[in-house]
Structure 1
Amino acid sequence: MRTTFRTRGPLAVVAAGVLLVGAAQAADARGTPRFSVVVSGLAAPRGITFDARGTMYVAESGVAGSGENGLTDTGAVSAYRWGHTVPSWTTGFSSLYSTEDPSAPPDVLGPEGLSALSHGCRMRHDACRVRLITSESTPGILAATHGAVDDPQAGRLFGLDPRSGHATELADVGSQSYAFTTANQALFPSDFPDSNPFGVLVTRGRHGAVRTFVADAGANTISEIGRDGSARVIAYIPNETGGAMRDATPTCIAEGPDGWLYVGTLDLVSNLFIGLPGGQSHVYRVNPDANFPTVPSVWASGLTTVTGCTFDDRGNFWATEMFAGGADAATPGDVVRIPFRHPDQQTHYGAGTLVLPGSIAQGPDDALYVTVGSSAPGRNGAVVRMSLGRH
């Protein structure tokens, strides 16, 4: 069982009690950001998305229990109607915790990626689609804990009713990815089999058909999930060639203006633990109609530990960099903007202010909303609104 964030030392606890660092700045015409806390007291908030009605959905991975590993019932997804800071509903999920470093708090994994259709549900309730992906896989957790921990929600794709929060299981993605890496163990012999679904994207393809894609941070795969729950692997994200662990770790998927998929990678070890100055993460461009073993291409490079990504309505690619600044940073984390037509250009916002950002989404007011404290222990996370004068 390979958890996504193997944090060490101060990185695992730096955000405890910290929601937003530094004074908020007024936005000006040059795009200086203004930050404000929207919702606080969240337990490792990761995924965030908005639907066409402006409702904001936030996924919390949860908090750890006692012992080296186990499950709690502290994972959750909450819906916030536009302009409200109290959820209209909250749906609970299981949360897995695992201790990999006794000197640091346990890693916590549970509800992770969220995605909702941004159009088409204003008039028809049944056209609103909200998708959640949860971490790890049932067989992977059983194997890693020698049968001690059985999580029947691990690695599942859920559909959430936008009115009630009722969750419907749509696919066991984790088990399918675990089987894929078992059959293709030569791709990563030192680590496979493995699975850790983390990012999800729901979108409308040609002729209005709804399509769902999942990024698996453990299997390093991008899959399309069929209506029957089957996972079709469309791409294997190449591992880095110079890193200590050869583990690219795809964490997020965004649909570009060209209809292709753009996938960000974490590359945690290469960015933080082998003496490199960061900048080892990439964004891959993936054909949604491809099939493995078609190799995706690198679209942008020079990022650091990407955990969430999106395109805004002007075609800019945005990514959260959870550990930007490195292991010695007092407040690791940053947000980067890349113009679609100029992937070699990067503008950074939030360094020293946005602590351990998890994911990012554009709201109906054009501002960007970021989950922070996403790998902090306890209920020390928040959603932060970041507005710019022009972007």
Structure 2
Amino acid sequence: MIRSRQARSTLVGLAAGAVVVGLLPAAPALAHSDAPTVRVIADGLLNPRGVTIGRDGAVYVAEAGAGGPMAAEVPGGGGPSGSTLCFGETGGVTKVQHGSQRRIVNGLPSYSGAGENGTCDPAAIGFAATGPHDVVADHPNTMLIAMGLGAPPEVRDTIAQDISFAREFGTVKRVRGYGGERTIADLAAYEGANDPDGGGPDANPYSVAALRGGATLAVDAGANALLRVGANGRISTVATFPAAVRPVPALTCPAPPDFPPAGTPIPSQAVPTSVVVGPDGAYYVGQLTGFPFAPGEARVFRVDPRTGHVSTYARGFSAIVDIAFGPDRSLYVLEIARAGLLDAEVCGNLPGRLVKVSHGKKSEVRVPGLEVPGGLAVAKDGTIYVSNRSILPGGAGQLLKVTPRRGH
């Protein structure tokens, strides 16, 4: 069995497959808001993840890419021993505005697992790629990008001896549209030197948020930490998120033969995946949870920006991949897999879920066709943008425009 830190890899970073579980007894039923209007406004996207709305009103989507033709073996400790990863510069950012889409950032690092034949055949790779995981358009034509990793920093550094651009994984980059980029923070190196949660070095930057004065918030899903990057590039720890013991859930399909019985208690990592600054100025962090990925166990945390104190804002979710506040101060929570993360992987249960939290009550926003979504943004007029099919290969990714019914 794969260690809990490695097991978070397949759908949140490392494409070198974790094969584990899925489904706890269902949470209490949510109320349903009236069905919104849903339209695909961009397609052909390569593993689309984080979504943001720029000051120009355009929607920007981070694409983790589709790996590439450069093969590298995973050193021991960074994933399944001897597995092959496929590297390329296929990550980027797509801009959607006025009914058209355009790839405005190209050539960012990306990797995915090898095909069934163990090679980096372009036709067989690209599932659950790791690369640009989130984007924030903090200034006109300028973006912050979280570059995923999903491994200890020394694994990255070993691979970078042969594939130089691999050193860009595990960082936060500042990129100018149509050319120009630089690394502003190496979160993987910080994790290797500090290990804030004490669980052993493991880095996977997954979400960023811009702060006033040029500082940046970053969630590291591998480090179980919320970090602050100052305008001068100095990294500090704002908060860490604790592990918990969670029961192995039952699958909706036959479990693998070496799978632990349902109900087996397993230490489970927090795995934060998203951060936003709330209307009250506090930091809000959504968590995926680690193996055994028990549905109903994920929470949204509130972090006091002055003290770093962590409290629970909302609970009872499954595999949170992104969060966003709406103009009415409601919180929208995006689940990558409503039936459980590993039920999606093992049993093929792909539907995701979008939940609205308002005045302490949860209601589902029904989004037809929502499958393993990856990112979320809400405009000032209440329009919701969701990246869809965020881990499927072959350019299957989409950007959905979700227009709620008036009054909802």
| Deviation for aligned residue 1:98 | 3.9
Is 1:171 the counterpart of 2:185? The answer is yes
Gaps of 5+ in 1: 12-29
Distance 1:218 1:9, change over 3 A: closer
- What per-residue deviation string (whole Å, max 9, x for no partner) do you get for residues 204-252 of structure 1? 3xxxx23310000000010110122111101001112325342110000
2:93·2:103 contact (CA, 8 Å) conserved in 1? no
The residue that corresponds to 1:224 in the other structure is 228
- Helix, strand or coil at the partner of 1:270: coil
- What per-residue deviation string (whole Å, max 9, x for no partner) do you get for residues 115-151 of structure 1? 234xxx6xxx5xx752111012783433676966551
Is 1:252 the counterpart of 2:274? The answer is yes
- Helix, strand or coil at the partner of 2:40: strand
Distance 2:61 2:367 in 1: 22
The residue that corresponds to 1:371 in the other structure is 387
Which residue identity is paired with 2:388? V
Q: How does 1:107-122 map to 2 (within 5 A)?
A: 107-117=128-138
Q: Identity rate of aligned residues, in percent?
A: 24
Given the two structures, how large is their TM-score scaled by the length of structure 2? Answer: 0.75
Is 1:159 the counterpart of 2:174? The answer is yes
| Deviation for aligned residue 1:113 | 1.2
The residue that corresponds to 2:42 in the other structure is 39
C-alpha RMSD of matched pairs (Å): 3.1
Distance 1:61 1:88 in 2: 13
Deviates more, 1:345-354 or 1:42-51: 345-354
Distance 2:313 2:88 in 1: 39
- What per-residue deviation string (whole Å, max 9, x for no partner) do you get for residues 171-223 of structure 1? 11221123221xx57x32xxx1111111100133xxxx233100000000101
- What per-residue deviation string (whole Å, max 9, x for no partner) do you get for residues 313-332 of structure 1? 11011121001123146432
Q: How does 1:317-332 map to 2 (within 5 A)?
A: 317-326=331-340, 327=343, 328=347, 330-332=349-351
Which residue identity is paired with 1:384? L
Aligned residues: 343
- Helix, strand or coil at the partner of 2:102: coil
Which residue identity is paired with 1:317? L
Deviates more, 1:93-102 or 1:171-180: 93-102
Gaps of 5+ in 2: 12-16, 21-32, 72-83, 119-123, 248-265
2:205·2:218 contact (CA, 8 Å) conserved in 1? yes
Is 1:348 the counterpart of 2:364? The answer is yes
The residue that corresponds to 2:55 in the other structure is 52
The residue that corresponds to 1:24 in the other structure is none
Is 1:193 the counterpart of 2:201? The answer is yes
The residue that corresponds to 2:27 in the other structure is none
Is 1:336 the counterpart of 2:355? The answer is yes
| Deviation for aligned residue 1:102 | 9.1
| Deviation for aligned residue 1:99 | 5.9
Is 1:302 the counterpart of 2:316? The answer is yes
The residue that corresponds to 2:76 in the other structure is none
1:218·1:249 contact (CA, 8 Å) conserved in 2? yes
The residue that corresponds to 1:27 in the other structure is none
The residue that corresponds to 1:91 in the other structure is 106
Which residue identity is paired with 2:147? T
1:236·1:295 contact (CA, 8 Å) conserved in 2? no
Distance 1:165 1:282, change over 3 A: farther
- What per-residue deviation string (whole Å, max 9, x for no partner) do you get for residues 150-177 of structure 1? 5121122122325x35323211122112
- Helix, strand or coil at the partner of 2:291: helix
Distance 1:133 1:139 in 2: 15
1:282·1:301 contact (CA, 8 Å) conserved in 2? yes
1:59·1:113 contact (CA, 8 Å) conserved in 2? yes
Distance 2:216 2:7 in 1: 23
Distance 2:137 2:179 in 1: 13
Q: How does 1:265-276 map to 2 (within 5 A)?
A: 265-271=287-293, 276=294
2:244·2:270 contact (CA, 8 Å) conserved in 1? yes
The residue that corresponds to 1:131 in the other structure is 144
Distance 1:46 1:264 in 2: 15
Deviates more, 1:1-10 or 1:83-92: 1-10
The residue that corresponds to 1:6 in the other structure is 10
